[in-house]
Amino acid sequence: MEAGSGQAPPAFDPAAVRALRPSRPVHDPWRPQGVTVELERGPGGELRPWATVFLTGAECPFTCVFCDLWRYTVSGPTPVGALPAQLRSALEDLPRLLLEAGLERCDRLKLYNASNFFEPRAVPEADLEPIARLAEEFERVVVECHPRLVDGRVRRFADRLRGRLEVAMGLETVHAGALPRLGKQLTLEQFDRAAARLLADGVDLRAFVLVGVPFVPAAEQAHWAAASVRHALGAGARSVALIPVRGGNGELERLQRLDWFEPPDLALVEEALARGMEEAGSRAAVQVDPWDLERVQSACRACRASRLAAIREMNRTGVPRRTACDDCG
């Protein structure tokens, strides 16, 4: 694809982006979206079990063109007490999940709220202490937050935790033409400033990098994914998660019709992961977000299963590899 076929990119209009969305499913703010247990490779190469609790709460105030996380949110503010109640019930489920996975224990926790953990509308201030108490058994706790919302609350929450806090921030892309059009309302300087603040406060950094970025030509996608990983590492990230952009929010379908977006292919995801790992070496863990990997399209049916297996193996081992296919190369 030649992104946009030479036309000027469409102006970002959050109201128009929202208008294209399918209706939001109704969620009970007192129930989590779910909890999973997965093995994840750390920066030292070790595979360890992580629990991820998908919390239900208020929607993010930003309107990124690629984001579908609003589907898992409620329309008003998160009620006080709801997140501790959700976390309590998710943790009650954890022993069963560990047993099913054949794992004894899990001391790593991700608390993903489909929004920003340090925004009081999404996570009421009064809930930070009970959440920290519930997370006491974990050595490491990851939460997600937009870099512009990283402030003194991060340090205060880190101080309440018994384990180490890690904040996951979306860098998305360092492509100078694409980043301002994503609706993220983020500059690289803001990302770097937030990263430096985290590190100065003794908080670890994880970064999200997109694969299949709108407004970036298909032939340049792997290059820019690797450049974005390099930038995240330079800002101090110890983990980088590559996120294949998935359609379904209405806006991406509109951009696709205008030739400004092409859903990423498994071959691209595999290449971006291999290049990202080559950038990182043994400095940091680079992985593809395993959720929804099955939904990523493959133009070539002959190598789909091999590429999925290669991506999963790279996630596990940290060793870059590329699938050779007689049909697509």
Phi, psi for residue 50 in degrees, rounded to 5: -120, 140
Minimum CB–partner distance for residue 208 and ligand SF4 (Å):
8
* Residue 67 contacts ligand SF4 per CB under 6 A: yes
| Cβ contact 78:119 at 8 Å | no
- Convert residues 98-117 into a mask of x (bound to ligand SF4 by CB under 6 A) and - (unbound): -----------------x--
63 or 221: whose CB is closer to ligand SF4?
Answer: 63
Q: Which of ligand SF4, Zn ion, none does residue 64 bind (CB under 5 to 8 Å by kind)?
A: ligand SF4
β strands within the chain, DSSP E = 34-41, 47-54, 57-58, 73-74, 108-112, 140-144, 164-172, 204-211, 239-244, 285-288
Chain length of the chain: 329
Report the alpha-carbon distance of residue 5 to residue 217 in Å, rounded: 10
Among 291, 239, 293, which Cα is nearest to 34's? 291
CB of 306 to Zn ion, least distance (A): 8
CA 29/CA 133 separation, integer angstroms: 20
Sequence-separated (6 or more) residues with CB below 8 Å from residue 50: 37, 38, 39, 40, 106, 108, 109, 110
Q: Which of 262, 256, 273 is nearest to 308 (CA)?
A: 273
Site for ligand SF4 in 157-176 (CB under 6 A): 170
Q: What phi and psi, each to the nearest 5 degrees, are found at residue 297?
A: -75, 160
Size of the site for Zn ion (CB under 5 A): 6
Piece of the chain touching ligand SF4 by CB under 6 A; list 31-39, 62-70, 190-198, 218-226:
62-70
Nearer to ligand SF4, 72 or 260 (CB): 72
| Nearest distance, CB of residue 66 and ligand SF4, angstroms | 7
Q: Does residue 60 belong to the site contacting ligand SF4 (CB under 6 A)?
A: yes
The contact mask relative to Zn ion for 249-288 (x = CB under 5 A, - = no) is: ----------------------------------------
Give the CA distances from residue 9 to residues 117, 173, 182, 256, in Å, rounded to whole numbers and listed in that order: 32, 17, 11, 12
Nearer to Zn ion, 222 or 252 (CB): 222
**Does the footprint of Zn ion cover residue 294 (CB under 5 A)?**
no
**Considering CB distances under 5 to 8 angstroms, the limit depending on partner class, which of Zn ion, ligand SF4, none binds residue 311?**
none
Is 181 a binder of ligand SF4 (CB under 6 A)?
A: no
The item of ligand SF4, Zn ion, none sharing an interface with residue 72, based on CB under 5 to 8 Å by kind, is none
- Pairing status of strand 73-74 against strand 164-172: unpaired
Place of tokens 């492509």: 175
By a kind-dependent CB cut-off of 5 to 8 A, residue 275 interacts, out of Zn ion, ligand SF4, none, with none
237 in the Ramachandran plot: left (φ > 0), alpha (ψ -120 to 50) or beta? beta
Nearer Cβ to ligand SF4 (64/161): 64
In whole angstroms, give the CA distance from residue 133 to residue 205: 22
Looking at 146, 197, 246, 304, which residue binds ligand SF4 (CB under 6 A)?
146
Q: Which CB sits closer to ligand SF4, 246 or 307?
A: 246
Which residues are near ligand SF4 by CB under 6 A? 60, 62-64, 67, 69, 115, 146, 170, 184
Residues that bind Zn ion (CB under 5 A): 300, 302-303, 325, 327-328
